[in-house]
Amino acid sequence: MPSSHSKRPGKEKNFVDYASVTVFSGAGGKGCVSFRREKYIPKGGPDGGDGGDGGSVMIRAARNLHTLIDQRYRKHYRAENGRGGGAKNMTGRSGNDLVVPVPCGTVVRDRESGEVLADLVRDGETVLLVKGGRGGQGNARFATSTRQTPRFAQPGEPGETREIVLELKLLADVGVVGLPNAGKSTFLSAVSAARPKIADYPFTTLTPQLGVVQVDDAVSFVAADIPGLIRGAHEGTGLGDLFLRHIERCTVLLHLIDVSDSSAGDVVKALKAVEEELGLFDSKLLEKKRVVAASKIDAGDPAGRIEALKDHCQEDGMEFCSISSVSGEGVKSLLYRLAELVRKQA
C-alpha cells in the first residue's frame, strides 16, 4: 500500500479515525522475606508470601463508540502494579487489568513492526496487548530440608511496554463514492436519518458520514458517505487519502456521477478518475461489486451525458441507474438493488 496511508487528518475533531498510544502492563510485586515469630515457637520457619501479578492491558471493541477521540488525547495507558507479598504466607494483591475501549472496526498495529495485532469487528471482541509481570515468590517457597532458613525472595517481573497504532475503518454495507459535489451527502440525507452538511462548494463533506437506510420494514443496510475523491487522492491530494481506507470494509460501492453540469467535464472521465484512485489505493477495491448512478437528473441532461455514462457502464459490465435525490426518481429501486447486492455478498 502507498506510504500515504500514514498521513493523518489535521485538526478535525468531530471524527477521529487514527491515534497512536503507548500501553504499559503492571510489574509483579516482590516476594516477601519473613520468618514466623510467635510466642512459644522459638524456631519459626520462613513464611514470606508471594507478590501479586501485575495487571495486563487489553483492547476491546465497543459498539457505543464511533471515533478514536479518547485515544487522540490520552496517549498512555498503564495497568496497575502487583503488590508485594506479606508475612504469614500472605500473597500480595494482583494489579487490576486495564481495558481500552475502541469503536468496532478498529485495526490495531504494532508501531515498530507494523504487525496487525487485532482487527476488532464485533462488539465485545477483546485482545491482549501486553501481559502483566508475574509476582515474585516469597522465601517460604525456597525452604528445603537442607535450606531451612532461606533469606531471599524473588523480585517481581517487570511489565511490558508497547507502542501501538489504532486505525478506525468504518463498518458500512454500502460505500458512496464520487468526485466532490457529486451529490453523495444529498443522497445520504434523502435515504437515511443522517444529516451531513450540504453546500454547493467542493469538499463540503470533511469527514465520513454513516446512515442507516431503511428500505422497508424488513430490509435495511448501513451506508457511508466518503468525502470527495480527486485525482491523486491516494497520494495525499485533497481529502481522499485520509478516508479511502473506510471503503475497504464496504460490501458494495455506489459511484455517484453528477450529470447535471456540462462544465464539469466528461462524465466517463469522472468515473474513470474515481476508479483509478480506488485501484491505486488498493487493487482489491476494484474487485468489489460496484453500481454507477447518474445523479442530479432532475437538473437536466446536457449533451446526452446519461446515455454516454450508461453505454460505458454496459461495456465495462457495471450496473447503471439514474436517480434524483431531490425528487426521489429512481432512488427506491436503487435502494432495493443495493440491499440485494449486500445480502448476496454477505
Instruction: Break the chain into its structural domains and give their ranges.
Output: 18-168, 174-345
Q: What is the DSSP string of 132-183?
A: PPPPPPPGGGG--SS--S----PPPPP--EEEEEEEE----SEEEE-STTSS
Rounded Cα gap, residues 124 and 157, in angstroms: 30
Residue 36, pLDDT score: 87
User: Which of these, 71, 224, 94, lies nearest to 156 by C-alpha position?
Assistant: 94
Question: What CATH code would you report for 174-345?
Answer: 3.40.50.300
Identify the helix (H) or strand (E) that includes residue 109.
strand 106-110
- Candidate CATH numbers 2.70.210.12, 3.60.15.10, 2.60.40.1730, 3.40.50.10070; the one for domain 18-168: 2.70.210.12
Whether the pLDDT of residue 265 is over 80: the answer is no
Rounded Cα gap, residues 160 and 53, in angstroms: 13
The residue assigned the cell 453540469 is: 261
How many percent of the chain have pLDDT more than 70?
Answer: 83
* Grid cell for residue 135: 509476582
Give the residue-averaged pLDDT of 138-146: 92
Say whether 174-345 and 18-168 share the same fold: no
Length of the chain counted residue by residue? 346
Give the residue-averaged pLDDT of 306-320: 91
Rounded Cα gap, residues 316 and 97, in angstroms: 54
User: Which of these, 217, 161, 159, 198, lies nearest to 26 by C-alpha position?
Assistant: 159
Give the residue-averaged pLDDT of 217-236: 69
Residue 195, pLDDT score: 64
How many percent of the chain have pLDDT more than 90?
Answer: 53
Whether the pLDDT of residue 262 is over 50: the answer is yes
Lowest-confidence pick of 87-91, 92-96, 140-144, 301-305: 301-305
Rounded Cα gap, residues 294 and 203, in angstroms: 20
Helix H, strand E, coil C: the string for 218-278 is CCEEEEEECCCCCCCHHHCCCCHHHHHHHHHHCCEEEEEEECCCHHHCCHHHHHHHHHHHH
User: What's the mean pLDDT when you consider all of the chain?
Assistant: 85
The residue assigned the cell 487493487 is: 283
Instruction: Look up residue 304 and give its DSSP letter.
Output: G
Residue 125, pLDDT score: 97
